[in-house]
Structure 1
């Protein structure tokens, strides 16, 4: 290792340890949800609320080939982002981090659809229409913001504490030098030094769990054309489909909190 006097490309001098003597540890009471003071404290996920979210979706789906008929559609809801948008509070005496209010829940995801369909075979003729079974998978995206009223929270949300950063300086006097009276001095702070106190909080982020979903959908062909003459009446194919979907899903909103449990 090069000494501190030699030239080096390292931007941090690590020739000396940054640890000075020993560290001192003092007890600090954790932030605890309001409850009885004598009960044991646990750090566990708690249910803040459980809400049923509704959304309407409309999509145009283009199938990869002409389709004789839809045989089945399997659906699965996937939530890719679920965030409870809450305000922040500044740390200090008298501040309540469990203040209640109406908060917005931002949800983003998609509905995965696997469409199983019959495609007419090229050797269909006469009174018979032969087909092959195929499938097509697509995703219908959605995003929405729902407002959760304060009365709908089972437990209050622990709001995030904001980080703080403050600078401070020291007074310094210097001689003014030639051309100034000897009794006069330059009085200001020292520009060659920088002093700061900073505090950062690691807050627990509320998160979601998907409980259930329900979908009512209408899938209607928009370009259906009859097959050529000689096949059974009413047979035709289409490739474009208009989908109208009413989506409902239930999510639980949770957060890890310190709580007092009297059962122990």
Structure 2
């Protein structure tokens, strides 16, 4: 074998041997613990109605298949109004048959066509109000800014009584105390989606020449969709977790074969 020839490991079958593992008892803190975890504020289903027109770059004989994916690009809970703003797209991959450009390829018994595909994004956006929370959100703290001044005293110019003096704040100085809060922003997780759609050609014409009966093509498609989106609204919050010790677990012998005990 030549020294410069490289061996591809994918050319040889690989045998995977079983390896053993040993469980470890994790180190945990006992008692009253404060932790920061995502808390579910609400779980809801939104219904969005869509009406769009799709234009194809070439004549379409018929739709063969449509694959859809929901893409959520914005889910923002505006506190303290409890309004949830949703924005996204429905990605549609449409596979269709397009009649051949050569007219003589179509006869009274058949129509020649090619399989093509078109991918489009159908946008949607809506606003809904969350009326019932599973867990109340932590309202954002408002930033504070306050100005303060110092008293200055100065003698008055001529023309004023000698015992009087000018008292005010110094315009050449600026003093301020500001406080900023970095609040936890609620976020969403997409759980599932369901789409019911109706697609209908709006400019269908018959194929010229000697084509089979009722065969035609179109370039524009009007679709109506009802989109149901199920999602969770969450927020990172500090929660208290309580745990207690278990004497039976602390004194458990690892050599004991009885595994019917549990610790909580």
Q: Which TM-score tier does this pair reach, normalised by the shorter chain?
A: 0.7 to 0.9
- Taking a change above 3 Å as real, the CA distance of residues 263 and 114 of structure 1, as seen in their structure-2 partners, is farther
What is the aligned partner in structure 1 of residue 61 from structure 2? 68
State the alpha-carbon separation in 2 of the partners of residues 180 and 228 from structure 1: 105
Pick the structure with greater CA Rg. Answer: 2
Quote how far apart the aligned CAs of 1:40 are: 0.9
For 1:125 and 1:218, the matched residues in 2 are separated by: 29
Moved over 3 A (4+): none
Counterparts of 1:107 and 1:81 in 2: how far apart (Å)? 6
Counterpart in the other structure of 1:120: 99
Q: CA deviation at 1:227?
A: 1.2
Answering whether residue 64 of structure 2 is matched by residue 84 of structure 1, we say: no
Q: TM-score, normalised by structure 2?
A: 0.77
SS of equivalent residue, structure 1 residue 161: coil
| Alpha carbons of structure 1 residues 215 and 138: separation in structure 2 relative to 1, 3 Å | same
Give the distance between the partners of 1:244 and 1:263, measured in 2 at CA.
Answer: 53
Deviation for aligned residue 1:79: 1.0
Gaps of 5+ in 2: 1-30, 245-264
2:205 aligned with 1:234: no
Of 165, 173, 179, the match for 1:193: 173
CA RMSD of aligned residues (A): 1.4
Kindly tell me the number of residue pairs found equivalent between the two proteins. 211
1:163 aligns with 2:143: yes
Where does structure 1 lack aligned partners over 5 or more consecutive residues?
1-37, 88-101
